A and B are shown apart, each in its own frame.
Chain A
Amino acid sequence: MGIEGIGARVARKEDKRFLTGKGRYTDDMTVPGMKYAVFVRSPHAHARIRNIDVSAAKAAPGVIDVLTGKQMLDDGIGNLICGWMIHSRDGSPMKMGAWRPIAHERVRYVGDAVAVVIADSVLEGRDAAELVVVDYEVLDAVIDPLAALQPGAPQIHPESENNLIFDWEIGDSAKVDEAIANAAHVTEMKIRNNRLAPNPMEPRAALGIYDAAEDHYTCYTTSQNPHLARLVMSAFYNIAPENKLRVIAPDVGGGFGSKIYIYPEELVCLWASKRTGVPVKWTSDRTEAFLTDAHGRDHVSTVKMAFDANNRITALKVDTIANLGAYMSLFSSAVPTYLYATLLSGQYAIPAIHCNVRTVYTNTAPVDAYRGAGRPEATYLLERTVETAARELGVSPAELRRINFIREFPYQTPVIMNYDAGDYEASLNAAMQAADWNGFEARRAEAKARGKLRGIGMSCYIEACGIAPSAAVGSLGAGVGLWESAEVRVNAVGTIEVMTGSHSHGQGHETTFAQLVADRFGVPMDSVNIVHGDTDKVQMGMGTYGSRSGAVGMSAIVKALDKVEAKAKKIAAHLLEADEADIQIANGELVVAGTDKKLPWAQVALAAYTAHNLPSGMEPGLKEGAFYDPSNFTFPAGCYICEVEVDPETGKTEIIQFVAADDFGNIINPMIVEGQVHGGLAQGIGQALLESVHYDGSGQLLTASFMDYAMPRADDLPSFKVSHQNTPCPNNPLGIKGCGEAGAIGSPPALINAITDAIGNNNLEMPATPEKVWALINA
């Protein structure tokens, strides 16, 4: 490891532009003749559209045109898709309803677009939007998923009777029921996982540019996966064939999953650009983001965990209802199934598991993956139940976990996942030490003397990321493969460009990916450029989400680097008249081992491109590509401990300390990894203490601004204590497990376990607002 190599805390190359206001986010983009789109959105959660009168709006100052769903349908623009087929227990395919980009005939949630104004300015567009007259026949709406399943509830889509999309299961029901019947102890819980709004700080935006001369579209979009956007818009939405559509995701200000999906707005901008003959830009405001960005989580579950007389878990039975909102978003079917139930073994050797998941339509915003995507839901359920069981059984929370840890790898769980490597006890021990677990009771007594309630809670999480082995997910219903691509281009004078199918929207890839190259060839990081986000520059990729860019994206780069290294060595060997096997690369030079015969990297590159003296039969050039398809998921795991102090007068929780002990396998840049953990912890603590999306009974979104939805701020959070106990992943070249989501996955149960410990009442649901906590204290 050099100053800039693998394992080094290299400061980020991308920071300069962000720190000096030179970032290029989608809303920063302007093109000549650009106009602005403003959407007219349904104020009703469920209604039939009888008529739309755009005449007054079209006549308003600055308006180019006003377009409706009917025009979009007539122009052949397709429905939005869900890319993962799930079958119900009876073998029938999921009952998916149609999702029009602009609603036609029916709206199904507050915020559903019904028309779009194209105007000279946003302000004129907003004025005109208010002049669009929509004649709605308001229908009854249903907001709660349990209510939606009842006969007689309003039917949201004709395809799904009683709003049931699918009824799916995994595991062995008979084995589980038998174990429960014979158990020495059964812990039962009802667990709610609260609905969240991802809220990256950059609102979504899109700029659609149709070039009539070339019959070609360019789309700037705030996307985590521009190639996926191009694929879906071309193959399913009928915008244009791929070779006539360029998608560019420039600097993107955070995503957390919410920018994976290809939303109506980018389609509308492209379609409207062709119809009106002008480039069309749309930028979400924050209220629009709350209304229309895919929400996360929203599960209600019942859990039974069975124990034998030695406190070993013998079975786990889970029944979950997952609210998918008014339309099925792109990955919405996979999140509460294959990204959730397959993690229900946790870190424990559980012989029998069964999970039933029913997904439901309601008149709310679509729900899809949000940082963790299914794994926070599984972890919260498991770790609340295990901690509760420990209390019921009179065993320490640490001891109950130790008794049940998986200790031999690889380990085949009863729910598909095969864990590759780990040492859960190492993280547990590290976390307990860092938290001074043994000294806690003294701290609790001291706090009590001051009239405060202290509590401590633990969460031992495991997750599956490095998404994903293509054949495996294909067999489970995925419509795409989840490999990654890289092309390493060595230029004639030795600088290097890496074209990656990953996309950086905060993760620092321009730095960490360059570290791989600097480490391999000993060239300065400054001579290495990472290129991402443009379908014209990078041939194909699957994007960044699911903590995959290390495990999958970097693995593709390594494979390409291997090929470049091999060719460079062949050239050097030829030029130095040595054996290829004797060539070593270090410090930017190719050296014949044990001699002083060497060539600088730049000279070898030049030789490749002048081609004056290459080995016989070798093609000129030094550029290699690779695709990498993982053979398995990766399994980051760890132990989080949270200590809180609750003020019984106000119910307010102060976090005294938050300790994270994570196993991420091998780490490329510890500074970046810590940052990912910090950010994930903040979101998980936000879920546990502060955040919750609320709709009223008629489907109005009550939490539609930062005034109403409590985002974590600096004074809500402590500084974190982060450490690593790494067991390398055996299944990819760098041994990386990934780190992007773990913080959000492992932290909520640690918080709630701590607060329930503090107040001596276990009936606490997220978010643990002061009002809720106070009410439980005074119950």
Chain B
Amino acid sequence: MTKVTLTVNGRTMSGECDDRVLLVNFIRDKLGLTGTHVGCDTTQCGACVVHMDGKSVKSCTILAVQANGSEITTIEGLAKDGELHPVQAAFREHHGLQCGFCTPGMVMTAVDMIRRHGGNLDEQTVRHELEGNICRCTGYHNIVKAILAAASEMNARQAAE
């Protein structure tokens, strides 16, 4: 058993686990943050995406011990003071979720995608960037709309600042 210490959503959290425990299971089972989901066993589906030291990663393909000492943002840490992040708000407005299971990973991927592209996205780029996130409910149509709308909104806010 190894002690793993992480800063998760701004709070320092620790737990003990076997070396073979995946980060996603550590987050879910040890830290009780069940918003991050497991949807596959081959790193394809993206339901497990979190941000680790500023980058989106698939937490099913990182060992908890590997993540020791890092800063993690999960879906639970995205909204600030009860106010939804623009990506979360856009998903709601544009009906970009149905069963909700892929949604945490989708949202985390979207936030990262917008950041990396400086908010300059088009439909083709969004669809390409979503290759690592599988949704079975929405057919992606409204997810793409939501991400483009969020990027646009975030650009507008930044321009206004």
Q: Does A481 contact B (CB under 8 A)?
A: no
Is B92 a contact partner of A715 (Cβ separation < 8 A)? no
Alpha-carbon separation in the docked complex, A25 to B34 (Å):
9
Is A254 a contact partner of B101 (Cβ separation < 8 A)? yes
Is A202 a contact partner of B99 (Cβ separation < 8 A)? yes
Is A678 a contact partner of B40 (Cβ separation < 8 A)? no
Q: Which of A515-535 contact B (CB under 8 A)?
A: none
- B11 — which chain A residues lie within 8 A by C-beta? none
Q: Does B95 contact A (CB under 8 A)?
A: yes
Q: Which of A229-274 contact B (CB under 8 A)?
A: 251-254, 256
| A526 CB, nearest partner CB in chain B, Å | 15
Is B21 a contact partner of A123 (Cβ separation < 8 A)? yes
Alpha-carbon separation in the docked complex, A66 to B39 (Å):
27
Q: Does A507 contact B (CB under 8 A)?
A: yes
Alpha-carbon separation in the docked complex, A682 to B41 (Å):
23
Is A705 a contact partner of B42 (Cβ separation < 8 A)? yes
Q: Does A679 contact B (CB under 8 A)?
A: yes
Residue among A12, A22, A23, A254 making CB contact with B137, cutoff 8 Å: A254
Alpha-carbon separation in the docked complex, A25 to B44 (Å):
21
**Given contacts A20-B88, A717-B140, is CB(A201)–CB(B130) below 8 Å?**
no
Alpha-carbon separation in the docked complex, A83 to B18 (Å):
45
Q: Does B20 contact A (CB under 8 A)?
A: yes
**Given contacts A12-B92, A682-B139, is CB(A20)–CB(B78) below 8 Å?**
yes
Query: Which of B51-59, B63-71, B121-129, B153-161 lines the interface with chain A?
Result: B121-129
Q: Does B61 contact A (CB under 8 A)?
A: no
Q: Does B144 contact A (CB under 8 A)?
A: yes
Main secondary structure of the interface of B (DSSP, over half): loop
Query: Which of A545-553, A568-576, A633-641, A706-714 lines the interface with chain B?
Result: A706-714
Is A286 a contact partner of B40 (Cβ separation < 8 A)? yes
- A254 — which chain B residues lie within 8 A by C-beta? 98-99, 101, 136-137
Q: Does A171 contact B (CB under 8 A)?
A: no
Q: Does A392 contact B (CB under 8 A)?
A: no
Q: Which of A699-742 contact B (CB under 8 A)?
A: 705-707, 711-715, 717, 719-720
Most chain A beta-carbon contacts within 10 A, residue among B37, B79, B140: B140
Alpha-carbon separation in the docked complex, A23 to B38 (Å):
14
- B120 — which chain A residues lie within 8 A by C-beta? none
Is A23 a contact partner of B78 (Cβ separation < 8 A)? no
- A705 — which chain B residues lie within 8 A by C-beta? 40-42, 44
Residue of B nearest to A19 (CB): B88
Q: Does A508 contact B (CB under 8 A)?
A: yes
Interface string of A111-146 (1 = CB under 8 A from B): 000000000000100000000000000000000000
Residue among A286, A675, A681, A715 making CB contact with B128, cutoff 8 Å: A715
| B131 CB, nearest partner CB in chain A, Å | 5
| B71 CB, nearest partner CB in chain A, Å | 17
Is A675 a contact partner of B36 (Cβ separation < 8 A)? no
Alpha-carbon separation in the docked complex, A303 to B36 (Å):
48
Alpha-carbon separation in the docked complex, A27 to B143 (Å):
25
**Given contacts A18-B100, A19-B88, A287-B41, is CB(A123)–CB(B139) below 8 Å?**
no
Residue among A201, A507, A680 making CB contact with B101, cutoff 8 Å: A201
Is B41 a contact partner of A21 (Cβ separation < 8 A)? no
- A17 — which chain B residues lie within 8 A by C-beta? 100
Interface string of A503-514 (1 = CB under 8 A from B): 001111000000
Q: Does B72 contact A (CB under 8 A)?
A: no
Q: Does A53 contact B (CB under 8 A)?
A: no
Is B126 a contact partner of A714 (Cβ separation < 8 A)? yes
Q: Does B76 contact A (CB under 8 A)?
A: yes
Main secondary structure of the interface of A (DSSP, over half): loop
Alpha-carbon separation in the docked complex, A706 to B116 (Å):
27
Residue among B42, B99, B123 making CB contact with A505, cutoff 8 Å: B99
Q: Does A285 contact B (CB under 8 A)?
A: yes
Is B138 a contact partner of A12 (Cβ separation < 8 A)? no
Residue of A nearest to B79 (CB): A20
| A12 CB, nearest partner CB in chain B, Å | 7
Residue among A251, A680, A714, A717 making CB contact with B100, cutoff 8 Å: A251
Q: Does B93 contact A (CB under 8 A)?
A: yes
Alpha-carbon separation in the docked complex, A199 to B101 (Å):
12
- B37 — which chain A residues lie within 8 A by C-beta? 25, 201-202, 253
- A713 — which chain B residues lie within 8 A by C-beta? 130-131, 133-134, 140
Most chain A beta-carbon contacts within 10 A, residue among B93, B100, B124: B100
Residue of A nearest to B93 (CB): A11
Residue among B84, B95, B139 making CB contact with A671, cutoff 8 Å: B95
- A123 — which chain B residues lie within 8 A by C-beta? 18, 20-21
Most chain A beta-carbon contacts within 10 A, residue among B34, B74, B91, B133: B34
- A14 — which chain B residues lie within 8 A by C-beta? 100
- B128 — which chain A residues lie within 8 A by C-beta? 714-715
Q: Does A332 contact B (CB under 8 A)?
A: no
Q: Does A178 contact B (CB under 8 A)?
A: no
- A707 — which chain B residues lie within 8 A by C-beta? 42, 44
Is A15 a contact partner of B97 (Cβ separation < 8 A)? yes
| B113 CB, nearest partner CB in chain A, Å | 11
Is A717 a contact partner of B136 (Cβ separation < 8 A)? no
Residue of B nearest to A706 (CB): B44
- B20 — which chain A residues lie within 8 A by C-beta? 123
Is B142 a contact partner of A21 (Cβ separation < 8 A)? no
Q: Does B23 contact A (CB under 8 A)?
A: no
Is A506 a contact partner of B99 (Cβ separation < 8 A)? yes
Q: Does A325 contact B (CB under 8 A)?
A: no
Q: Which of A266-321 contact B (CB under 8 A)?
A: 283, 285-287
Residue among B35, B99, B103 making CB contact with A200, cutoff 8 Å: B99
Give the 9 A-B residue pairs with the shortest CB-CB distance, closest first: A21-B35, A253-B101, A18-B100, A682-B139, A506-B99, A678-B139, A506-B98, A706-B44, A714-B130
17 pairs, CB–CB < 8 Å, chain A vs chain B: A15-B97, A19-B97, A25-B37, A25-B101, A123-B20, A199-B136, A201-B135, A254-B99, A285-B38, A678-B140, A679-B98, A706-B40, A706-B45, A713-B131, A715-B130, A717-B127, A720-B141
**A-B contacts besides A16-B92, A123-B20, A714-B140, 6 pairs, CB < 8 Å:** A18-B100, A19-B97, A21-B76, A123-B21, A200-B136, A719-B141
- The interface of chain A, by Cβ under 8 A from chain B, is 11-12, 14-25, 27-28, 123, 199-203, 251-254, 256, 283, 285-287, 505-508, 671-672, 674-675, 678-683, 705-707, 711-715, 717, 719-720, 743
